[in-house]
Amino acid sequence: MEEKPFTIESFYEFCSQGKLMGAKCLKCGKIHAPPRPSCINCGSNKFEWIELSKTGKIISFTIIHVAPPRFADKTPYAVGIIELDDGVRLPGMIKNVEFNELKIGIKVKVEFEEAVEKEEWPKWTRYYFVPY
């Protein structure tokens, strides 16, 4: 059993180990990825870590043309909501795909990259999705 606190920092620490982890509410079973201070479903703050699927499908996406300064050199890029095979939904960047090939429902898998800067923000560049 993992004993890390249920924080965004822990979530990204797992990413650096190549693991996509969610915080499962011990009361109602809702899985949060990334974790939240309390359950959006029942308000409980008791969780356990569970490892999530590394594959899923795109359920929505947007092409970002205007980004915060730190991401300006990456524009345009695609972000989306991914539904993992275990049903958990989380936002992420989608890479290695032509924008005109992006579609709802295409299968993607998660990959990880080291943050270029320790203080990089938003930190969600540390995991992303690619079609497979």
E strands, 1-132, where? Answer: 21-25, 31-32, 47-51, 55-64, 77-84, 89-94, 107-112, 127-131
Which of 74, 90, 92 minimizes the C-alpha distance to 31?
90
Question: Judged by CB under 5 A, does residue 42 bind Zn ion?
Answer: yes
d(CA 98, CA 112): 20
E strands, 14-65, where? Answer: 21-25, 31-32, 47-51, 55-64
- Nearer Cβ to Zn ion (11/61): 11
Question: Judged by CB under 5 A, does residue 88 bind Zn ion?
Answer: no
Q: Which stretch binds Zn ion (CB under 5 A): 31-39, 69-77, 100-108, 113-121?
A: 31-39
Choosing from 16, 44, 75, 96, the residue that interacts with Zn ion (CB under 5 A) is 44
Q: Which stretch binds Zn ion (CB under 5 A): 39-47, 85-93, 98-106, 108-116?
A: 39-47
**Number of residues in contact with Zn ion under rule CB under 5 A:** 8
Choosing from 30, 70, 95, 109, the residue that interacts with Zn ion (CB under 5 A) is 30
d(CA 103, CA 64): 15
- Nearer Cβ to Zn ion (25/90): 25
Chain residues binding Zn ion by CB under 5 A are 25, 27-28, 30, 39, 41-42, 44
